[in-house]
Amino acid sequence: METAKANDIEPYTYMVYVLTQLPYADTVEKLEALLPWNFKKSELEKVKNAVR
């Protein structure tokens, strides 16, 4: 959570995204894409809209 905050990512929304995408991360590259410093903020906006 602190790493998400340090990367200007809202922690709750980030966790929702990670937990929904984790089952589909079947390669190391896909797992690394879920890390906060690799996270695309455009994905975060999609999650925010879906959660609301």
pLDDT tens digits along 1-52 = 898 889 888 898 889 989 999 999 999 999 999 999 888 777 777 777 776 6
How high is the pLDDT of residue 49?
A: 75
Separation of first and last alpha carbons in the chain: 21
> Taking the model in full, what pTM does it have?
0.74
Question: Quick one: tokens of 4?
Answer: 């998400």
How high is the pLDDT of residue 52?
A: 62
Residue in the block written with tokens 């984790």: 22
How high is the pLDDT of residue 48?
A: 73
Spell out the residues 6+ positions from residue 25 whose beta carbon is closer than 8 angstroms to its own: 31, 33, 34
